[in-house]
Every structure is written in C-alpha cells, then in structure tokens.
Structure 1
C-alpha cells in the first residue's frame, strides 16, 4: 500500500510539473502583454511593475483587428465545415464498402498524412496561380485537401462503433443511402465531428505559411497581420504579445465548450 501511495504521489508531482511547463508559454505571453516595451527587457519572467492596457489598444488598431479577424473566421469556419462534410461522407463510404478498392483508397489517404506541406508547396501554388485561385476560396480548398486525410482516418475508425444493422433497418424502412447517413449515422458521429473540428480549427486558425503564399494584404488573416510587429530593425514584442493574446481567445472559448467531446471522439476514431 505504501509503495502504491508513493507512486501515486510521484505521478501527481510529475503531472503538476508537466502542467507548469505546458502553461509557462501562456504565462509569459499574458504577463508580458501588460508590460511596456522597456519593461519586457528589464524583467521577462516577473510580473509587470506598471500594468498597462495600451498594448492591447494599439495592437487592435495595428492588426486592423475586425478585418483580419473576419478573414480568419471565414477561412477557418469555411475550411472546417467542408472538411467535416466531405471527410464524414468519405469515411462512411470507405468503412461500409469493404472492397479491395476501398481499402486501397483508404491507405492512400493514410499515406498522405506523411507528406509534408513543404514538398508540395511550390507546385501547389504554381497550379493554383495558373487558375487564378490564390484567394480566400482557393485557400479554403487547399485546407480541405490537407485536412481530409487525418479527418477521414478518424471518421473511418469511428464507424466501427456504429453497427451496420442500423443502416439495414433504415433501408428496410424505405430510407436511401443519403438519408441513412445524414439522419442515422452522422448524428451518432457528433463526438468525432467535434474532435475533427477542434484539431483542424486550431491548425488553420494559427497557420501562417500557407496563407502567406496565397492571400494578399487586403485578405490577410490574424497570423499574417501579426508579422507587422516584426520589422527588419525593430521588434515590438509588447504589441505582438498583446495581439497574440487577443487572437487566441476565440479558439480557447471554442475549445472549452467542446472539450467534453474531444477525448471521446479521439478514442472512437482510434478504434480499428
């Protein structure tokens, strides 16, 4: 009993230490966002000697926050909605049709997760530039392609927990394939859909590289606008940290509302 109790205490201590390490970047970001420019370089780790909210006001103006926030919302929500729509249907089709072709197609999607973006970056931009799709619509379409592989993998695994007998019963009652999926199967995929939403939303919301290659200054998202604070000769860390603090708030709010479904969804998606 003493050995088990000692092990439990050690694990709890390790858990607390890991939590502190994980939270330390957030602490540094939030605390330094309230400091003056000189205050950051005087003491990075300590609390501000003089708390100020001027950084947030200036960052809000410099980021053209309402415009860039709207662009980020359009790109993120549009991309995530299309990823959930098409990936759920693809996962359902591949899971229910057990043929050699469906198995090959599924393995192609799984293998696609191993392809780094940098290896297809130049040809992708060249192709989309030729068809005049270097805009928000083109960016959303690209995110659909890059986010589909993992999402299909998760949906395909989650389908194992939904018995085929439900499909057969609905078909006997006169439902077609479309009705079976949207009225019977898709509502049961809510946990995995929330997981897919969160995983893709965090990635797309924070992405800098792909939007920097596709979007113009007029349609820039928040990560692109954040680069405004880092010039060739000056780096305005106090404004950048304030801008980052503002930018992550929407994702944190969405995460806290959806967190109860995330672990359940990942567990279902891992079932093979």
Structure 2
C-alpha cells in the first residue's frame, strides 16, 4: 500500500512531466499540419497526417550539407574538449599546489561568465586575425566548453587513487602513457557525460554560429533554420518539421548514453 504523503508528490511529478513534454508534443503535432491548420488550433492533432512538410523542409534546408557542417563542427569540437579538458583536469588533480588550486578555481569561475558579455570583443579579435568560420568556431567551442568539462573530470579524478600512477611509474610508464592507457579508460562514464552535454549545447547553438560563420554553404542547422523566418512571413509548418529532423540525432544519442550520463554527473560533482 502506498503511503498517503507520496500521492501529492506523484501528482506534482506527473504535472511537471506533462509540462516538460508539452513543447515536444506541439513541435511534433504541428510539424504534421498545414500552415492553415497551425493557425486554427495549435493544440489540436492534425486532421490528416502529411509528411510533405518534412520533404520540403529537407530540400529547403539543404539538409545533407547542413547536417554535415553541423556534424563536422560537433565531432571535432567535442573531441578536442574531451582530450584537452581531461588532460588539464588530470594535471590539476595530480599536482597539488597553490597554483593548481587557483587555476582550477579560475576554470570554475569562468562557468559564471555569460557569453553575451564577451561575444563582441571575441568576434572583434577573431575578425582581425581572419580566423572565422569552422576553425574559429571550433576554437571558441573548446574555450567555452572547457570550464564545465574540467570541473567534471577533476571531480572524477579525485576518486582515482594516485597509487595507480606510482605503480605505473615503477613499471616504466611515462606521464602520457599513465594518463592515456590507465587513467583515461577509467573515466569512461564522465567522458560520455562531457560528450553528451557538449553535444546538446553545440548542436543546438545558434548565437555563436550566427556571429562567426559568414560564408554561404557553411551554415549549421540552427543557423539555416532561420531561413524559414522572413520579414513578412513565418513558415512555422516547415520550421517545426526541420526542427524535428534536427533534434532526432541528439535524442537518439542521449537515450543510448543516459545511464552513463547520470553516473558520470554523480562521479564528477559528488566524489
């Protein structure tokens, strides 16, 4: 028999779940409607299901090229964030000194700096050295994603005993071999967490690509989505269909890795 005091909590949980799922319902349902049906009633299911919106959105977004641009930037950015953040966190966790402590807290403090406060100086600097488009945005993602990633890796590394390093050193391994072949494989849960969190952020980011990418044919999916919103018209039926296509890869990746994400967050933030 369930305890009575749990019933209000269950009701609140169900209500919050419905509220969280409502945007997904609106996106999916309205992506299957015509433009006229959307303006008539956004909550009502479509009268007749049609996938014409998806076909048209796929063509107008030049989806394969745009998807390739987003995927290229995403894969390189996330790979660099994982490699450099894990190495930096390893160095900060193993070298205990006042300097390493200050550096670590600077990375933590950097998480509190909003992007809007640095975007104009950042774009001005990169504009002078002409490092825009893909290389520039990958470098920026590495900088902005490093703080949280180092914080998570640092917490996980504190739970790995230094005796492993000492034993490997006695066996003749150097620092790089110790990290790459012994420590890094033990960080798999937190690596998955860092990868997924940065994947969701980078894949859905609109502001930074809109400031950095200035060549036609190199747009990411969020940037290309703006194509459906003109000065005099807004093609919501196509925009919602394109948005559904865009989030499918991230949702699939999250569901495959959700157990590792939860485990990694708990290891990185608690231990």
- Please confirm whether the aligned pair reaches a TM-score higher than 0.5, indicating the same fold: yes
Per-residue CA shift, 1:166-201, capped at 9, x if unaligned? 111111111111111011100000000000011110
Task: Say if 1:84 and 1:151, in contact at 8 Å, map to a contact too.
Answer: yes
Partner of residue 83 from structure 2, selected from 73, 82, 85: 85
Q: Give the equivalent residue in structure 2 for 1:236.
A: 235
SS of 2:4's equivalent? Answer: helix
In the other structure, the counterpart of 1:131 is 129
The alpha-carbon deviation at position 6 of structure 1 amounts to 1.0
Q: Equivalent residue for 1:164?
A: 162
1:36 & 1:52 partners in 2: Cα distance? 8
Q: Distance in 2 between matches of 1:72 and 1:193?
A: 21
Contact 1:30 / 1:241 at 8 angstroms: preserved in 2? yes
Partner of 1:270: 269
Alignment match, 1:220: 219
1:64-213 alignment runs, 5 A limit = 64-213=62-211
Deviations 1:215-242 (A, max 9, x none): 1222000001100000000000000000
| Contact 1:158–1:192 under 8 Å retained in 2 | yes
For normalisation by structure 1, the TM-score amounts to: 0.97
Aligned pair 1:13/2:11, yes or no?
yes
Equivalent pairs counted in the alignment come to 270
- Segments of 5+ residues of structure 1 without an aligned counterpart are none
Q: Which runs of 5+ in 2 are unaligned?
A: none
- Is 1:40 equivalent to 2:22 in the alignment? no
Structure 1 runs, 4 residues or longer, greater than 6 Å off: none
- Cα distance in 1 for partners of 2:72, 2:43 equals 36
Displacement of 1:16: 1.3
Residue 61 of structure 2 corresponds to 63
Separation (CA, whole Å) in 1 of partners of 2:49 and 2:226: 25
* Offset at residue 10 of structure 1 (A): 2.1
Partners in 2 of 1:13 and 1:201 — Cα distance? 33
Query: Counterpart of 2:217 in 1: which secondary structure?
Result: helix
1:2-60 deviation digits (Å, cap 9, x = unpaired): 8x711222222221111111000000000000000001011110100121110000000
For residues 66-123 of structure 1, the C-alpha deviation after alignment (integer angstroms, 9 at most, x for no partner) is 0100000011111100000000000000001000110111011111111111111111
TM-score (norm 2): 0.98
